[in-house]
Every structure is written in C-alpha cells, then in structure tokens.
Structure 1
Amino acid sequence: MQSGVRVCAPTAALLGPLCRGCLSRARSLPGRSFSCSPRQSSRWNSQETCSPPPPRDNPRVLITGGLGQLGVGLAQILRKQYGTENVILSDIKKPPPHVFSSGPFVYADVLDYKHLRELIVNNRITWLVHYSALLSAVGEANVALARKINITGLHNVLDLALENCLRLFVPSTIGAFGPSSPRDPAPDLCVQRPRTIYGVSKVHGELMGEYLHHKYGLDFRCLRYPGVISATTQPGGGTTDYAVQIFHDALSTGHHECYLRPDTRLPMMHISDCHRATVEFMQAPECQLSLRTYNIAAMSFTPEEVAQEIRKHLPHLKVTYNPDSVRQTIADSWPVRFDDSNARRDWGWSPAFGLEELVADMLSAIRNKRTNEGLPIS
C-alpha cells in the first residue's frame, strides 16, 4: 500500500465485516493532491482515502430534513437499536413538543456548510441520513429553490461525508426515471432521463455518490423509494400524495378528489417497510453490496384500485377524478413497477405489506388518530 494511504475499513461491531474484495478495491484508489478550495478540509483532492472513526458500540446518526415524512419514524427505530442520545434529528423548522421531548433535536440548514460541519464534528457523527429535499410537485413550482436544496445541499453533505468518512444514506426516488426508461418493470440500471428538477437532482445524487465511492471510497448508499404511505404525517407535495390523502378524506368527509386519472399505476410502499428497508440497508456489510443505488418495491396500484380496497371497509367512499396537468404528466413519465431483484438477492430485502394490509393499517391508524384528537369520523 502506498505511504500515507489509509483504507476505509468498517469495524465489525459498527459497520459490519469488510470483504477482501472491498479491501482490495479501497487499496487501489489513486492518490490525490491537496485542494486549494476555500473549504480547506475538503477531502476531494486529499491524498488520504476515507478512514473510519475509532471503534465504538453504536453509530452516531444525524438525520437532515428530519421533520418530513420519514425522519421522525426512522429516528424512533434507530434510537431503540442504538440509544436515544446516539440519533440526532435536525431540520430548519420548529419541532412539535412530542418530537422535541423524544430525543436530541438540533437546527440544521443543509445550505449552511460551516454549521453542518460543526454539528458533525461536535457530535462525533458516523452515519448521516440526508432526507432534506423539495419533492416533485413542489419542486416544479419553485425550481430555483429545489436546485439549491436538492443539489447544493447535497454537495455540502457529500463533502462532509467524505471529509469525515461517514456512512452516508441519500434516498432516491421513482422520479429518477423518465419517459424513456423501461416502465414495467424499471430495473436498477437503465436509461434515466427525468423531466422534473426533483428527478434530475436525484439522478445527480446517485451518480455523484457512486463516483465518490469508486474514486475515494465513500460509503455512499441510496435506495430508490416508491410512493411512501404513512398515517402519521401529512402529504408533503409529492405526486404520489393522493395515496395518503385518500385515507384522510375517506374518514373525514367520505369524498376524495383525485388529481390523477383512475388508471394511473405507480409503485407504492407502507412507511414501515420503507423504514425497515433503510435500516437493513444501512446495516448491511459493505461487501454484500453489488450496487450503491437499489430499487425497493412492495406493491403497485392505481387510484381506482386503492379506492376499491378502501370501500371494503368504508362502502360510502366517493372518489371523483380531476387530473392536474403537472402531476399527471409527472406520473405518466414514471415506472409502473420496480424491479428490486438485486436488493432481494444482495441484502435480503422483502416487504411485509401488500395493498390489503396497507389499507387496513392506514384506516385503523387514522381512525385512532382522529378519535384521540376529538375529530369526527365519516
């Protein structure tokens, strides 16, 4: 091994065993000269590859964008496994009291590189889950802001992960595919030409992460999420949000107006499957991974199919269709199914929820939530 070159070799307790092939690949990384960038600590041009932090029993996790649909639930799971104090939620919004009291929360703007760096260093972060992003429909309404958060923010996170040898998870999306991609099913590797700034930024993230992994040994991990369905958070501006809103409407008014055509088929997933996939993927030994970005799948349905399943529980549900041109165009460019065979083979992915189980769980959870809040049920 060249003098001065260190290898990113995870500890057995924290990051899983390192295969001989992983070690050989890391040792083959070319040397680099130091950067003259204002970010003097950036590792982009350093002569050292990623080197892991000293061994410890549990990872120290920072979750950006933690008050969105996914962050709070993921934090709960990770805190049960690794300890409450080892998982830090962050966002630029004020957390509700139950989130603030449930574990560490800090203010973090992914566009503020210096402050984010301080958080990572001061809290000895070893895993970074980067959920900060503007979603598809919201991003199309404000492209400049989406470009800043989804791309500039991502580059800040990539730089810091490389500098501090973090295990970095960045979710991708069904939106990373475009009309020229195979749609039924969409494989892990194929043509990707998305037509939204959200999709473009996610493809950019996939490729940058893979590049930094192969060139510098960054432990970058990415899952392409389908539409994620959750009873605990409100829709956040995504094209698949109808599949959350329809449950709330079914129990509140008995009527849902859908912004997609009734035959629009898209991949979907219960949030508990999404969280479990993320945790299992983060825990998988690096040498088991043949890819850095994987599709994960659970089910695929249309608005009419989910409405019919809801009517088995609530026969009075009425659904009208008023397609929104922006969201319908986005949905028509996306796959109708994911091929997740590589995830199933490499690290044992398998979903627990199908459509029937998803509908029963969502209606039960939202009914209980409305009852506890004293809200009427249709």
Structure 2
Amino acid sequence: MKSRILIIGACGQIGTELTIALRNRFGADKVVASDIREGNEELMSEGHFELLDATDFAAVEDVIFRYKIDTVYLMAAMLSAIAERFPAKAWHLNMTTLFHILNLAKDKKVKKVFWPSSIAVFGETTPSENTPQLTVMEPSTVYGISKQTGERWCEYYHKKYGVDVRSIRYPGLISYTTEPGGGTTDYAVDIYHRALKHGNYRCFLQEGTVLPMMYMEDAIRATINIMDAPKKDVKIRSSYNLGGVSFAPEDVAQSIQKVIPAFEIEYEPDFRQAIADSWPGSIDDSEARKDWGWEHKFDLDAITKIMLDNLKLQYS
C-alpha cells in the first residue's frame, strides 16, 4: 500500500519542489500539500491542497484524519534572517508545529515523520572545517536554537515513544523555482537573478565567507532517500549532517563570469554576516553516506549552468 503523505509548509523553498517530487513518485492523489498561504499554479492545480495553520493542532489533526495520512513532512519554519526580526513568532512557529506532529505520531495517528534541521544548529565554538556529526553546538540565532532544540525532542520522542522521526541538517539550498525565502545563504540564489536582470550584485555577505551549499535536487533526493531507508539503517534520530559543495560569494561570481563575463559583484555586509560567521565552512556527512547511502551530484559550475539556463527561460 502506498503512503498517504501530508506536506506542511508546501509553498516554501523546499516544500514546493518536494511536493512535486513526491507527487511524481506516489501519484497526485496520495500527496496533500498544505500551507498558511496559497502557492504557485502547479502546486495548487495538480493535487490536493489545504490552507492550514500548522500551529492549530485541531486543524492539523483534522487534515490527517480526513485524508488518512500516515507520513508527514513538516517543512514549515521561519528562517534565520527573518527569525532574528521576530524571535517570539519564530520560536512559536518552529517549535509548536513540531510538538503537534510528534504528539500525533506518539499517539499512532501518524507512522512516519520528516523534520528538517539546519547547519544553523552550529555556532562559533563549533569546528568550522569538516564539521563532525557529533560536536559542540552553541547556536547564536533564534532559528538555530529552535533547530537544536527540535533535534533533541526528535531523539527523545524516538527513544521514549518509538516515534519514527527522521531528519537531516540542510546546508544552504539553491533553486530557480522559488524566490529567496529570508535565509542567510539566500545570496546564492539572488545572485543569479541579479546577474541576468542587472549584470551586477551587491552581496550582503563579505568576500571570503565560505558556507556549505547544495543544489535543491540533491536536497530533495536526500530527503526522499532517508525516508525510504529501512528503519534499522536510520541510526541517528536527532539529525544527520548533510554536505554538498562549499564556496564563498566570489566563487559564485567567478562561476557566473564564465558565462556572463561582464558580471560584477560588490560587497556590503549587513546583520546576516554575523550569522554566517557562526556557521561552518564545510560539513562531514560521512554518517549519512555510511548509514543510508547519501551522495551529492552537483558542483558549483553545474549549479550555475542550471540556474542561469532556467532563469533565462523564466525571464524570457
């Protein structure tokens, strides 16, 4: 029997592409997309969609009951830069939604849960190069604190109640299908838009700020792979490190200049610089590779080609 899936936060950067991928795999009738707002035309027209406030327990429970949901992907969250402006709202959204889903799983109303963590769980005291799976975690942002706390609760619910919850720590994600969503790594999306529209980019991070990044297709594949893995192979129930490629803004600029030689970049760091400085430059994801066969496919130049080719089509 195929899973019946609910995606909460389906209109976000990850949720949009995850919904499409899961519908392609399981069939549109098996995947319910939900968000507090409506999404793009493809998301709305090609399968079930529910307007849903994920902080409302009764509303979430009702959708799960009506559609006979057994698997939930909880993608709703307030990201790093926006969360710094609205810390109480961010904490409420990020934590309340997680408790709702974990408690529904504890009560056997859901069989399997995916919840995303982030490199934001790390902090200035974390080893910044090849950051290990188990290490010092002293996040300095509201988003990072909520993700670190969420990891601990996921592991607790698994050990205490047997909840089958699975998680990966996403690095910065790059995609052409959705607009930047307020994250510190979103410069690596916006820069491609600006390159095509204006031929230049003013970066809110300074030169030399190396961060771990990943093309969205890799991230979606990792998400589906960990959910496909046999329960016995998912040995870490807090969250798995996930790595891709690490680069700085000037590396992206040089990659773009191979295609658009006249492209220029300048630097005007803002409050997001301090956030980026607290995050790792590269990630050791050997545990994910060993336990459930993770492997990334896309390097920076491949990402640049895909982004520019597809954004050109959008703008034309």
SS of residue paired to 2:195: helix
| Partner residue of 2:160 out of 201, 212, 215 | 215
- 2:179 pairs with 1:179: no
Query: Where does residue 139 of structure 1 map in the other structure?
Result: 83
Offset at 1:160? 1.5
Query: Where does residue 298 of structure 2 map in the other structure?
Result: 353
- 2:273 pairs with 1:328: yes
- 2:12 pairs with 1:68: yes
Q: Tell me, which stretches of 5 or more residues in structure 2 are unaligned?
A: none
| Partner residue of 2:262 out of 287, 308, 316 | 316
SS of residue paired to 2:16: helix
Q: Would you say the 8 A contact 2:11–2:40 is kept in 1?
A: no
| Partner residue of 2:188 out of 215, 237, 243 | 243
Q: Would you say the 8 A contact 1:165–1:218 is kept in 2?
A: no
Distance 2:303 2:25 in 1: 25
Query: Where does residue 95 of structure 1 map in the other structure?
Result: 39
CA-to-partner distance for each residue in 1:49-85, whole Å, 9 max, x for gaps?
xxxxxxxx21111011110001121111111211111
Distance 2:166 2:273 in 1: 30
Aligned amino acid, residue 117 of structure 1:
E
Offset at 1:307? 0.5
Number of equivalences: 314
CA-to-partner distance for each residue in 1:115-137, whole Å, 9 max, x for gaps?
10011111111110001000000
Distance 1:161 1:105 in 2: 22
Query: Where does residue 116 of structure 1 map in the other structure?
Result: 60
Aligned amino acid, residue 158 of structure 2:
H
Query: Where does residue 5 of structure 1 map in the other structure?
Result: none
Offset at 1:199? 0.3
1:261-300 mapped onto 2 (5 Å cutoff)? 261-292=206-237, 293-300=239-246
Distance 1:312 1:141 in 2: 37
Offset at 1:94? 2.1
| Partner residue of 1:200 out of 123, 145, 151 | 145
Q: Would you say the 8 A contact 2:113–2:165 is kept in 1?
A: yes
Q: Which moved more, 1:360-369 or 1:156-165?
A: 156-165
Distance 1:96 1:271 in 2: 18
Aligned amino acid, residue 90 of structure 1:
S
Query: Where does residue 128 of structure 1 map in the other structure?
Result: 72
Distance 1:96 1:264 in 2: 33
Q: Would you say the 8 A contact 1:110–1:157 is kept in 2?
A: no
| Partner residue of 2:101 out of 146, 157, 172 | 157
Distance 1:303 1:243 in 2: 7
Q: Would you say the 8 A contact 1:140–1:196 is kept in 2?
A: yes
SS of residue paired to 2:310: helix
SS of residue paired to 1:70: helix
Distance 2:155 2:231 in 1: 13
Identity of aligned residues (%): 43
Q: Would you say the 8 A contact 1:273–1:351 is kept in 2?
A: yes
CA-to-partner distance for each residue in 1:237-265, whole Å, 9 max, x for gaps?
00000000000000000010000011000
Distance 1:176 1:111 in 2: 22
Aligned amino acid, residue 39 of structure 2:
P
Distance 1:78 1:97 in 2: 17
TM-score w.r.t. the length of structure 1 is 0.82
Distance 2:185 2:311 in 1: 18
Query: Where does residue 363 of structure 1 map in the other structure?
Result: 308
Offset at 1:226? 0.3
SS of residue paired to 1:241: helix
Offset at 1:351? 0.6
Offset at 1:95? 2.6
Distance 1:338 1:124 in 2: 38
Aligned amino acid, residue 228 of structure 1:
L
Aligned amino acid, residue 72 of structure 1:
T
Distance 1:173 1:97 in 2: 28
Offset at 1:182? 1.3
